[in-house]
Amino acid sequence: MPLLYPAIVGYLIGCFVTGYYLVRVVRGTDVRAQGSGSAGARNVGRVLGWTGFWVVFAIDIAKGALAVWVASLAGAGLPGMLAAMIAVTLGHIFPVQLGFRGGKGACTSFGALLVFNSELALVGATVCFVILILVRHSVAAFVSAFVLLPVVAYLMGLDITTVAGITGLLIVILAGFRDDVAFFLRRFRSAPLTAGIK
């Protein structure tokens, strides 16, 4: 099956930005004009509380999982599943019907990864949790864990196609978190070289 088909289906599934539509229905407002400006679960939580957060969290994970499951069911094979995983995350971050402004892709990519390779997903989640304990910052922990994920995939002995696909997913995730990454880089550059040295 050509990679185009699972990629298109994955992208269209990703374009259903749960947080945007939930806040639009409940409050009649655009969640992207509030808080962090994202349509993801964390920003919806700021607007609708914990119930809104968990609803978006669950549905966004489910839609990522759905895209890869559909590709698998259609016989797309490993490359097709990777294409669906990258595309559903891309659709969530850059939904065409919302002017290419969606969420950041954390929940959607994790759901896709769970279906693609549950062991890799759980190892990545563990790495994220450990980093979270160390740095006490959820975004920094998630981004750092994803940066390490291609290395983790390689160390797990996964094939080069998978490692390349995970690297592609990492690039998409970095695009979703580009503002956060830029903020971290600015802070790193402005920190004095002797910070923390007594």
The model's pLDDT over 10-30, given as tens digits with 9 standing for 90+, comes to: 999 999 999 999 999 999 999
Is the distance from CB of 176 to CB of 146 less than 8 angstroms? Answer: no
Would 153 be classed as within a structural domain?
yes
Would 87 be classed as within a structural domain?
yes
Residue numbers of the domain that contains 89: 4-190
Would 56 be classed as within a structural domain?
yes
Which of 129, 178, 170, 169 is closest to 147 using CA atoms? 170
Q: How many domains does one find in the chain? A: 1
pLDDT tens readout for residues 89-115: 999 999 999 999 999 999 999 999 999
Would 110 be classed as within a structural domain?
yes
**Is residue 193 very low, low, confident or very high in pLDDT (cuts 50, 70, 90)?**
very low
Would 120 be classed as within a structural domain?
yes
Would 131 be classed as within a structural domain?
yes
pTM over 0.85: yes
Would 196 be classed as within a structural domain?
no
Would 65 be classed as within a structural domain?
yes
